[in-house]
Chain A
Amino acid sequence: MKQEIKYEAAFAELQSIVRRMENDELDIDQMSEQLKRAQQLIKLCKDKLTKTDEEIKKILAEE
């Protein structure tokens, strides 16, 4: 089972990718892989936001 990654951890990883890119710490071969990872992380973060929003609405509706 895939390890659940926390929003903050995902966001931090994303920031780290950007920083490493901007500091030119990545070579070209790694780049597409890292870009793919970044997109995964962004999707994960956005999904989490959407899920949280829905859960909040659901919890409040139960009240």
Chain B
Amino acid sequence: MRNDRLTLLELNGLVRELIEMEMPNEYWVEAELSECRESRGHCYMELIQRDEHNATPVARASAKCWASKWMLVRPYFERTTGQQLRAGMKVLLRVYPQFHEAYGFSWIVTDIDPTYTLGDQARRRQEIIRQLKEEGVFDLQRELHLPLFCLNIAVVSSQTAAGYGDFAAQLADSPFAFHSQLFPAIMQGEGVEQSIIEALNRIYEANGSNEPHFDCVVIIRGGGATSDMSGFDTLALAENVANFPIPIITGIGHDRDESILDMVSHQRVKTPTAAAAFLIDHAQTVLDSLGEAQNRISRQALQKLSTIHHQLSTIQEALPRLFSVVRTRQEARLDQLYSRIAHFVQQKLISRQSTIVSLQERIPMLLDRRLQTESHRLELLAEKLKVLDPALLLKRGYSITLKDGAAVRDPKTLHPGDQIETRLDKGTIKSTVI
């Protein structure tokens, strides 16, 4: 029995020989990196495969890329993908198996296909975009309006990055009274997602209590950072940005395709300085449009004044003519009244004159009639007188005794010596009373 015993080295040696004999080839393997670190020029990785549905690991293995290969593979990968190998990344590796008596089993990496990683990331990005659209939040930020006076700015950046300094300096150099406040966050490597979400939450809380409110948020990442965008391509971060109630401007500096963060933000620019330039330009545009509005108002006012002035002088020119119309009309009325008066006066005089004439005509006739009446009356009186004539009595034998021309009716009126006259029909007797 004892002879059957092997040392661990012997046993492991057997395994090594077996593997070397049975698996002499290299294989292309798809896997997810669960760890990745460099040490003394070599790259040590942990590979994992997860269950498609519940993400629990169903396979796991270590892998190594020796420095001799790594120094070739790594630049190519980074140049192609713009990223460093890191945990969470899906990779396509060319490997051969190695079992080392002291270090155990490991896949030795001889090549990495960066296009596979790119494709996988693109698929994942598409999936995140699809999900954001399905949630209806993809366009929310672009529906926000940047305030006209966008001067209070919350900045999410790493405090030490040169980009933030450039941004702040550029705003300070502008003629506008920008006020920016930094909300520090990790902008590369692990923890980007959580760190930015926390910064946004702090801004949200500050905005609830602080005066004045922030007009916009700027997420910037300084120069010198790698172009590793993977931290910005997560669903949780995109959802936070998309749902944020204040416009977010991203300037996270990269040349490749837009990150999802850029896609959901209100406005993307390439660099922190471009973000500052965008804000300054916006302020300048507003200032210009204010100036233009001012010009338009004064132009309109001047135009209005000149129109009114023109109207006034037109009225002024028309005034004498207008008044002469009034005057002519008034004069016509006066003339009409006067002619009515004249006409009436004339009528009245004519009518009075004709009355007088007719009266005049009636006078001779009336006189004539009167004369006739009187003569008739005279005639009647003459007839009556004729009957009373004393001559007729004298003819019948009566006589009249007169004294001093008056008839004597009583002898007692006579005295002796009085001369009397007795008138007879044919003569007169004169006697003396005895």
Chain A residues proximal to chain B, CB less than 8 Å: 11, 14-15, 17-18, 21-22, 28, 31, 35, 38-39, 42, 45-46, 49, 52-53, 56-57, 60, 63
Pick from B316, B323, B333, B341: contact of A53, CB below 8 A.
B323
Q: A21 touching B331 by the CB < 8 A rule?
A: no
The answer to whether B344 has its CB under 8 Å from any CB of chain A is yes
B317 CB, min distance to chain A CBs, angstroms: 8
Q: With A52-B323, A56-B323 in contact, do A39 and B316 touch (Cβ < 8 Å)?
A: no
Q: B334 touching A31 by the CB < 8 A rule?
A: no
Q: B334 touching A45 by the CB < 8 A rule?
A: yes
Q: Mark B317-332, 1 if CB is under 8 A from A, else 0.
A: 0011001100100110
The answer to whether B352 has its CB under 8 Å from any CB of chain A is yes
A28 to B353 CA separation, bound complex (whole angstroms): 12
A7 CB, min distance to chain B CBs, angstroms: 8
A15 to B320 CA separation, bound complex (whole angstroms): 27
A41 CB, min distance to chain B CBs, angstroms: 9
**Which residue of chain A has the shortest Cβ distance to B342 in the bound complex?**
A35
Pick from B319, B330, B338: contact of A49, CB below 8 A.
B330
The answer to whether B72 has its CB under 8 Å from any CB of chain A is no
Q: B337 touching A42 by the CB < 8 A rule?
A: yes
**Which residue of chain B has the shortest Cβ distance to A56 in the bound complex?**
B323
A48 to B120 CA separation, bound complex (whole angstroms): 103
Q: B338 touching A42 by the CB < 8 A rule?
A: yes
Q: B327 touching A28 by the CB < 8 A rule?
A: no
**Which residue of chain B has the shortest Cβ distance to A32 in the bound complex?**
B345
Q: What 10 A-B pairs are tightest by C-beta distance, nearest first?
A: A21-B344, A49-B327, A38-B341, A42-B334, A18-B340, A45-B334, A14-B337, A18-B337, A42-B338, A56-B323
A57 to B324 CA separation, bound complex (whole angstroms): 11
